[in-house]
Amino acid sequence: MVPDPGPPDKDQLFAEVTSGCTGLISRIAMSHEADPALRLELVQDILLAVWVALPSFRGDASLRTFVASIAQKRCVTHVARRAREPRQVELPPDLISAAQLPDEVAIGNDFKEKLAETIKKLPDPQREAIVLCFEGFSYGEVGEVLGISTNAAMLRCQRAKQSLKALMDPVPKVSQA
């Protein structure tokens, strides 16, 4: 009889998070923070929060759901904290950056870039739900992460999809002659 190895330790779980969930974390952070430097800090903050929370992971939900829940809550806290900070002076638009961040290079595709910008225009509840939906979470998992019912999660995702379609493919206005 083979002895039960027991639950994975914190280091093993964190290795799973860093190998399988960093894209998820980055995209959730991107949906809440536009500034690349602050987004990088937010991702690091989320990873630290995941590390601290890993001992409480019981396996009731998938590790991705656990990480997404932490990331979502950390992003909401980040946005609330940033809202209380004094506004910064905006840099001129013709200022050239020395280098692009890897996630910005990956979003070089025009459609993805437009989609990312359009998602930011959605109301917070719709944005939170659709980001998780695009990550492949079921409506039940979206509801679990956001603390709402499955039906409410489905409704938010459907409304977000309708809003995205309307914003990305506006119907041209016909001039009356």
pLDDT in tens, 102-142: 656 554 567 777 888 889 999 999 999 999 999 999 999 99
Domain 7-84 CATH assignment equals 1.10.1740.10: yes
Report CA-CA distances (Å) from 13 to 3, 27, 174: 20, 20, 57
Check residues 3 and 84 and name the one with the higher pLDDT: 84
Q: What is the pLDDT of residues 69-111, one digit of tens each?
A: 999 999 999 888 887 877 777 777 777 767 766 656 554 567 7
The interaxial angle of helices 22-30 and 124-134, nearest 10 deg, is: 160
DSSP 31: T
Q: Give the residue among 141, 149, 151, 150 at the shortest CA–CA distance from 61.
A: 141
What per-residue confidence (pLDDT) applies to 90? Answer: 77
Radius of gyration of the chain from its Cα atoms, rounded to whole angstroms: 19
Instruction: Judge whether 140 and 87 are in contact, CB under 8 Å.
Output: no
Round the average pLDDT of the chain to a whole number and report it: 84
- Does residue 7 register a pLDDT over 70? no
What predicted TM-score, i.e. pTM, was given to this entire model?
Answer: 0.61
What per-residue confidence (pLDDT) applies to 107? Answer: 47
Count other C-beta atoms under 10 Å from residue 135's C-beta: 17
Fold of 108-167: Arc Repressor Mutant, subunit A (1.10.10)
What the block records as the tokens of 148 is 């709402």
Instruction: Give CATH 1.10.10.10 domain extents, the chain.
Output: 108-167
- Does residue 3 register a pLDDT over 60? no
pLDDT above 90 coverage of the chain, percent: 50
Q: Position 126: which residue type? A: Q
Alpha-carbon distance of 148 to 160, in angstroms, equals: 16
Q: Is residue 109 classed as helix, strand or coil in its secondary structure?
A: coil
Instruction: Judge whether 122 and 164 are in contact, CB under 8 Å.
Output: yes
Check residues 101 and 48 and name the one with the higher pLDDT: 48
Instruction: Give CATH 1.10.1740.10 domain extents, the chain.
Output: 7-84
pLDDT band at 1 (very low <50, low <70, confident <90, very high): low
